[in-house]
Amino acid sequence: MLFNSFPFLFGFLPLALVLTYLAGRRPTTTLAKLTVAVLSLGFYAYWNPIYLPLLLFSIAFNYLVGDRIQRAQAADHTTVANVLLAFGLVVDIGMLGYFKYANFLVDNVDALTGANWTLSKIILPLAISFYTFQKIAYLIDSARGEAKPMSPLDFTLFAAFFPQLISGPIVHYKEVVPQLQGPLFGRLIWRNILVGLVIMAIGLFKKTVIADTVSGYCDPLYLMAEKSGSSDLVAGWLAAILFTFQLYFDFSGYSDMAIGLGRMFGVKLPLNFHSPLRAANIADYWRRWHMTLQRVIYAYLFQPLSLYLIRSTWRLGLTGWGAFAASVGFPTFLTFLVVGIWHGAGWTFVIFGLMHGTYVTAFEISRELRTRRQRRLRKLGKKPPPPGALRVAGAHVVTLVAVMCANVVFRAKTVGASLLILSGMFGLRGVAGDFSFAGFDVFALIVVCTAIVAFFPNTQQIMSRFDPAYNWTEWRDVAPSLVSYTWKPNTVGLVAAGVVLFFGVMFIQRGQAVFLYFNF
């Protein structure tokens, strides 16, 4: 079921709110939790009931393994806990690998060896990447002592909470479970309803009014590259810019709707998106794009690998750039390769990961060079000069161009189509053979999107007086906007929110477009 659909907005959501808050009138919160858990499973099954048993297996398996890990840790049986953790990770990753990558692997083995292996087409279960990573994080948190025992009902609700089940944010035990177990869960608090509704309305507007409008101009450019094999300078840059905006507003719109829906049910979810296109370097971009995926990859892949390699370099006596390459460069590159592969089973996603791995590794090398230069200046008694405005602006432009180039590969259905568009962007296929697709409306749309991204407050900043997300205090002062506005529940604010919600709903009538991250 899509958030941006009439059945959800006028059927499922009102029914879920009414049932939850009626159940919340009971002396305990058990009935409210059971209500939301059943509704969440129904929400998932609405898309394709055949994959509900797979989700239920994942929930039951990870609950049992996580509980045993916690018991082993409590009894100081570390070896047993580690064995259970390894077993849980193998099953979770194996399940994800089979459903997401088996066809890709078999197809490529056939192409390389001519083995002529056959495997029936495997349909990717909805949200398997997201809920599997959340379960992996839970098992590791259990092994680290950061997740505590809970009832099967609490775990089911934690694992299947519908606002964040399909496309994140990927949440941790400590962020959500204490709220689900708190005495206020299921209690009707009108402030939560109002704040959540406004956040959801903004997200819906981003998706249906902006992202889907941009999609109407963007999709023909990629189709033209795939079908006719043509993409000139203008078409190439339009394809890159328009898809970057489409992805930006689509994903930020979903993230807003997830946070808003969670708030309507009394749960603050963590941020997943915080104005990444305002970042002045590629590392900061990734800190603010798909934030919960990035922190899972960083905490459970990059950090352990980097620490292990740092200790190894000490034992081997490596210093200088050799130590840097082993302990920073390699784990950074590998991390983003995994990020790319996580997004999908295809060579375009592999190349997308390789591109960002190269970007971030190059940034880390430049940062290391800058650190060493500043260290030498301090030894000489000189104060390192701060970066000038021109340098900062140049770094921002380079970051945006790098992101757009990688987004072309991310969007294109084939490597050939992505190379065609990229070659067009850099003038290898002429300037413009046909301007009919590049009218005033396209450029006006780009100007509007640019202004919103560059100058206006994001959703969290608009709703900052209401503590809009679980970790908002960490990000309150990051990426301030030139235009300042905070929403108030006065006449002007309520009318503005109503207008935003009205247009968000009305634009659904053009046709329901799936959120881009539903594919992953």
Q: 316 and 426, same structural domain?
A: yes
What region, left, alpha or beta, does residue 317 occupy, with left being phi > 0 and alpha being psi -120 to 50 degrees? Answer: left
Peptide bond into 169 cis (omega under 30): yes
Q: 209 and 158, same structural domain?
A: no
60 contact partners, CB below 8 Å, separation of at least 6: none
Last residue of a domain, which of 163, 188, 213?
A: 188
Phi–psi pair at 273, nearest 5 degrees: -165, 125
Q: 263 and 179, same structural domain?
A: no
Distance between CA atoms of residues 173 and 181, nearest Å: 11
Q: 406 and 293, same structural domain?
A: yes
Q: Which residue in 172, 343, 356, 396 is the catalytic one?
A: 343
- Please report the beta strands in 99-143, taking only residues with DSSP state E, as ranges in sequence order: none
Give the total number of structural domains in the chain.
Answer: 2
For 322-369, the DSSP string reads: HHHIIIIIHHHHHHHHHHHHHH-SSHHHHHHHHHHHHHHHHHHHHHHH
CA-CA-CA-CA torsion for 468, 473, 479, 480, nearest 10 degrees?
Answer: 80
Structure tokens at 300: 């459970």
Q: 151 and 44, same structural domain?
A: yes
Residue 1: inside a domain: no
How buried is residue 320: exposed, middle or buried, by Cβ count under 10 Å (0-12/13-18/19+)? exposed
Q: 68 and 209, same structural domain?
A: no
Q: 262 and 219, same structural domain?
A: yes
Q: 470 and 389, same structural domain?
A: yes
Distance between CA atoms of residues 339 and 242, nearest Å: 23
Residue 234: inside a domain: yes
How buried is residue 398: exposed, middle or buried, by Cβ count under 10 Å (0-12/13-18/19+)? middle
Q: What is the pLDDT of residue 317?
A: 86
Q: 241 and 171, same structural domain?
A: no
Q: What is the pLDDT of residue 175?
A: 94
Look at residues 261, 252, 157 and name the one whose alpha carbon lies nearest to residue 210. Answer: 252
Last residue of a domain, which of 123, 155, 188?
A: 188
For 392-417, the DSSP string reads: HHHHHHHHHHHHHHHHHHHH-SSHHH
Structure tokens at 435: 């301007």
Residue 122: HSE in the Cβ half-sphere, 13 Å Cα cutoff = 20
Residues 345 and 101: beta-carbon distance below 8 Å:
yes
What is the domain range of residue 212?
193-519
293 contact partners, CB below 8 Å, separation of at least 6: 133, 168, 170, 339, 342
Residues 142 and 24: beta-carbon distance below 8 Å:
no
Q: Would residue 290 show up in a list of annotated catalytic residues for this protein?
A: no
1 contact partners, CB below 8 Å, separation of at least 6: 7, 8, 12, 43, 46, 47
Q: 111 and 246, same structural domain?
A: no
First to last CA, the chain: 16
Residue 179: inside a domain: yes
Last residue of a domain, which of 188, 207, 227?
A: 188
Helix axes 233-264, 440-455, angle to 10 degrees: 50
Phi–psi pair at 393, nearest 5 degrees: -65, -40
Q: Quick one: DSSP state of residue 228?
A: T
104 contact partners, CB below 8 Å, separation of at least 6: 345, 346
How buried is residue 23: exposed, middle or buried, by Cβ count under 10 Å (0-12/13-18/19+)? middle
Distance between CA atoms of residues 5 and 514, nearest Å: 10
Distance between CA atoms of residues 20 and 184, nearest Å: 12
Residue 3 CB neighbours (<10 A): 24
Note down pLDDT in tens along the chain; length 520 residues: 889 999 999 999 999 999 999 999 998 999 999 999 999 999 999 988 999 999 999 999 999 999 999 999 999 999 999 999 999 999 999 999 999 998 888 888 887 887 777 777 888 888 899 999 999 999 999 999 999 999 999 999 999 999 999 888 999 999 999 999 999 999 999 999 999 999 999 999 999 999 999 999 999 999 988 887 777 888 899 999 999 999 999 999 999 999 999 999 999 999 999 999 999 899 999 999 999 999 999 999 999 999 999 999 888 888 888 889 988 999 999 999 999 999 988 999 999 999 999 999 999 999 999 988 888 888 888 888 888 888 889 999 999 999 999 999 999 999 999 999 999 998 877 776 555 556 788 999 999 999 999 999 999 999 999 999 999 999 999 999 999 999 999 999 999 999 999 999 999 988 767 777 776 6
Q: 239 and 132, same structural domain?
A: no
Residue 10 CB neighbours (<10 A): 11
Residues 502 and 205: beta-carbon distance below 8 Å:
no
Distance between CA atoms of residues 339 and 293, nearest Å: 8
Q: What is the pLDDT of residue 18?
A: 97
Q: What is the pTM of this model?
A: 0.93
Q: 319 and 432, same structural domain?
A: yes
Handedness of CA 190, 194, 195, 201 (dihedral sign): positive
